[in-house]
């Protein structure tokens, strides 16, 4: 005789456990954020916001990650002091979904001139 055992579906159990755990973590984060903001002065809250990265710093960090280059190199690119190599230009064009010509216009515009 064969014995048949009921198979327990662990996937649903783990999924329910994950949702419960995730909800608990979100509640802890939200409560801690609310409580920490209550106990701070306006000056302390302002000083904390000054520590956050600016949009330009986030932009430079994004380019650093996309190209695996250092911050000083990327700063030279975005200020226009240095033009990156063509392979890096292609990586940036793909990252920003733009053409290389749009991101890095040539300094000298070629005009059709009548030379006689």
Q: Which domain holds residue 18?
A: 10-51
Helices (H), the chain: 10-38, 42-51, 55-67, 71-79, 86-96, 100-103
For residue 5, is it within any domain?
no
For residue 99, is it within any domain?
yes
For residue 34, is it within any domain?
yes
Tell me the CATH number at 86. Answer: 1.10.260.40
Tally the domains of the chain: 2
Task: Specify the pTM.
Answer: 0.55
44 and 74 co-located in one domain: no
Ordered per-residue pLDDT tens for the chain, 116 residues: 555 555 555 565 666 666 777 777 777 776 666 666 667 788 888 888 888 888 898 999 999 999 999 999 999 999 999 999 999 999 999 999 999 999 998 865 555 454 44
30 and 14 co-located in one domain: yes
25 and 43 co-located in one domain: yes
On average, the pLDDT of the chain sits at: 79
44 and 59 co-located in one domain: no
Question: 76-96 pLDDT, tens per residue?
Answer: 999 999 999 999 999 999 999
CB proximity list for 91: less than 8 A, separation 6 or greater: 66, 67
Cα 102 to chain centroid distance, Å, stands at 22
43-77: string of b/e by CB count within 10 Å (b at 16+)?
eeeeeeeeeeeeeeeeebeebbeebebeeeebeeb
């Amino acid at each position: 005789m064969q014995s048949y055992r009921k198979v327990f579906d662990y996937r649903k159990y783990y999924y329910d456990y994950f949702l419960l755990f995730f909800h608990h973590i979100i509640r802890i984060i939200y409560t801690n954020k609310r409580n920490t903001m209550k106990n701070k002065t306006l000056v302390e809250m302002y000083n904390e916001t000054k520590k956050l990265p600016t949009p330009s710093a986030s932009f430079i960090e994004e380019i650093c990650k996309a190209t695996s280059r250092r911050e000083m190199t990327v700063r030279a690119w975005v200020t226009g002091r240095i033009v990156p190599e063509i392979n890096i230009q292609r990586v940036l064009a793909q990252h920003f979904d733009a053409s290389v010509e749009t991101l890095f216009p040539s300094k000298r515009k070629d005009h059709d001139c009548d030379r006689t």
